[in-house]
Structure 1
Amino acid sequence: MKVLLNSEIKLYRNISGYNFPSKLNYEEAQEIVDEVSVPLLEEGYEKFTIEGLNSFEKLDLFEEGKITAGVLENEKLSAVFLQEGSPAVLLNGEDHIMITKSSDELNFEEIYEEVSKVDDLLDSKLIYAYREDFGYLTSNPQRCGTGMVLESIVHLPATDYLGANSILSSLKRLGYSATPFTNGSSKFVGSIFRISPDRTIGQREEEYIDKFTNILKEVVDMEEQNRKKLYLERIIDLEDLVNRAYATLKYCRIIDEEEMISKMSDLFLGIELSILKPKKDIELMETINKFKNGHLQIERGSLLDVKSRNILRANNIRKMMKEVF
């Protein structure tokens, strides 16, 4: 059963002698971009200035998780360096440098090796802002220390259905946050959550990774047990939930992003518990991403109003349902 959907590491670094990006002027920002460019271009990275991208290129990179809202907000100062299969390097977003890499497996140690190589490369050419008592200095005090943020996206439909409040409270007490997988909405949509530790001061990277990995293994195990419980003890409720999602997605004529995520969550629960039997394999995150607002507009090649997006999304979902079932 697929519970963990994505694992990501972000390393935040700042260059000594410069203000944080919120206080940078254009000349200082360009100096940072130029300093970082030299070693990355030598390693085969390609440089993109955010201001030089068109609206759809920005939207595409944002939807793929290769740039952040902070980079977009600072587009006159920011840049991104990309290389196929390598960590992305973002400049002048929330901090001077963010090195990030994600995976669809629980393999933080492997991801850390990759981002560390890029970090070591830059560290050999730059002077990072660092203090012995605080570690790496970042614009967000909670990231000081390792300057590393771990994040996982998990699918917890059975736990959510049976009552997710207890696990969310437990995670909070242990120093972890669990937020809904939505773009800015406060609603808990589709039983998909982002889980990450709240702070990084006082821990070594290896310890930080080990603790978080163990927490995630417990979360995954709990969800698997709850799925079995739901199937064995509440099969009628489960079949009703899944078939309502199936019917909505198969016959909808207009559907917004939040409802799409919610129904896809229920649909995939049905697939994984063999209530529904698709003709071909599909992945939850990949499927959701195809029907998100940004992807729809990229596909159409124009910015769409809300109703047009929701109609196009419904049309595309009906086509997918016909192909898969």
Structure 2
Amino acid sequence: MIEYTKDIILNSNLTLRRNIEGLDFPATMTLEDSERVIDIFRNIYGEKLVLLEDLDETFLNKLISSFALSEDYDDRSIKMAVVIEDDYVLTINDRDHVAINIMDFNMDMKKALDKSRQVEEDLDRIIDFAFSPEYGYLTSDARNTGSGLEIFVETFLFGLVGSYEAYFGLKQALINDGIYIGSESPLDIKNDIKGLYILKNIGNYRKDFIKYVRKFEEVLDTLVRNERRFRRDYQALNGIKDEEIEDRIDLIVSNLSMGLLKNLDIILKALYELKKYRALDYETKLSSNEIDYLIFNLSKKKYKDNRDEERYQFLRSYMEGR
């Protein structure tokens, strides 16, 4: 792993999406058809195919956070599965009949693309994928129709993108390169930029995807290197002393531990701030894994509103337990 990406590239996934000719997409397919799709892939992969219902929550959460599985996967009454290989994961009957996922590729998108295409070619010898001479490969999301390529890179850019204006300036510049940047923070982006962003490819109509992926790699490398420079100079640029940051960390951890924060926006703002200081090599009491665990679980859609009592109870129980 290239060290300069540490704490900047958090997750990455390159996916090729395909559907089987003659069957409805998963959003509208019947239980019986979903079982037919499962049987097709079980005949290819045997015992390597595992139904989602047989996986534990930790692994399912890993698939969700890595963009390999939809967060609302359990809202549908169809059979879904995964195939776990050493260098790729297939998700079956999620948004499309099959998604070939190359996760945690860090900066090497070209290698991830080559691997996904190799897997797709092997499957194509066995399965007749839905294809239109005019539009290309057909997918449930029209934006992916064409090549079926989907690239997600989760980045933490709190130094490079420190304001609303900087965010939209960067967003416009990336669109020109066929890359979309969106805020992943559950908070209102107009009020507070938190620094957690998703980079995604735009458009599947390109004829030369190798050239496009190379360009994506170059843009990502530039973003990472500039972010590293901004982090190095963070205190000087903002006129902040060590003691001020240490006091702020103590206050945040104390508020979380004493149960003084109940509003989701306020809780997440505090956790993202700890995440930032952690990336700057400050001791934050909570480890990086603990911060990410809390952000993931507190943001789940199962909670009813911004001040859901169950969310507050979960946080309080966790802080007391540790």
Bin for the TM-score computed over the shorter chain: 0.7 to 0.9
1:114-158 deviation line (CA, Å, top 9, x unaligned): 434432332221011123443212122221222110110111112
Identify the match of residue 168 of structure 2 among 159, 165, 170.
165
1:96-129 deviation line (CA, Å, top 9, x unaligned): 2112232172232343344344323322210111
> Aligned-pair distance for 1:216?
1.0
Matched, 1:179 2:178: no
Matched, 1:121 2:122: yes
* Aligned position for 1:192: 196
Matched, 1:45 2:48: yes
Secondary structure of the 1:236 match is coil
Distance change in 2, residues 1:316/1:147 (3 Å):
same
* Aligned position for 2:226: 222
Identify the match of residue 248 of structure 2 among 232, 244, 266.
244
Q: Which amino acid aligns with 1:266?
A: E
Q: Distance in 2 between matches of 1:233 and 1:144?
A: 44
> Aligned-pair distance for 1:58?
5.9
> Aligned-pair distance for 1:164?
2.3
Question: Contact (CA 8 Å) 1:40, 1:81: kept in 2 or not?
Answer: no
1:192-248 deviation line (CA, Å, top 9, x unaligned): 011101212124342232121111112222322333443223232897567435521
Secondary structure of the 1:100 match is strand
Distance change in 2, residues 1:269/1:242 (3 Å):
farther
Aligned residues: 304
Q: Distance in 2 between matches of 1:241 and 1:278?
A: 10
> Aligned-pair distance for 1:68?
1.4
Q: Distance in 2 between matches of 1:149 and 1:133?
A: 20
> Aligned-pair distance for 1:59?
7.9
* Aligned position for 1:290: 293
RMSD, aligned α-carbons? 3.6
Distance change in 2, residues 1:179/1:312 (3 Å):
same
* Aligned position for 2:17: 12
> Aligned-pair distance for 1:84?
5.9
TM-score, normalising length: structure 1: 0.77
- In structure 2, runs of 5+ residues without a counterpart are none
Q: Which amino acid aligns with 1:309?
A: R
Question: Contact (CA 8 Å) 1:88, 1:99: kept in 2 or not?
Answer: yes
Distance change in 2, residues 1:136/1:264 (3 Å):
same
Distance change in 2, residues 1:314/1:26 (3 Å):
closer
Question: Contact (CA 8 Å) 2:84, 2:90: kept in 1 or not?
Answer: no
Please show how residues 61-100 of structure 1 align to structure 2 within 5 Å.
61-62=60-61, 64-65=63-64, 67-69=69-71, 71-74=73-76, 76-83=77-84, 85-100=86-101
Question: Contact (CA 8 Å) 2:152, 2:199: kept in 1 or not?
Answer: yes
Identify the match of residue 208 of structure 1 among 192, 206, 212.
212
The structure with the greater share of residues assigned to helix is: 1
> Aligned-pair distance for 1:8?
0.8
Secondary structure of the 1:127 match is coil
* Aligned position for 1:139: 140
Secondary structure of the 1:23 match is coil
Q: Which amino acid aligns with 1:172?
A: I
Q: Distance in 1 between matches of 2:265 and 2:105?
A: 22
* Aligned position for 1:323: none
Q: Which amino acid aligns with 2:229?
A: Q
> Aligned-pair distance for 1:310?
2.3
TM-score, normalising length: structure 2: 0.78
Q: Which amino acid aligns with 2:294?
A: F
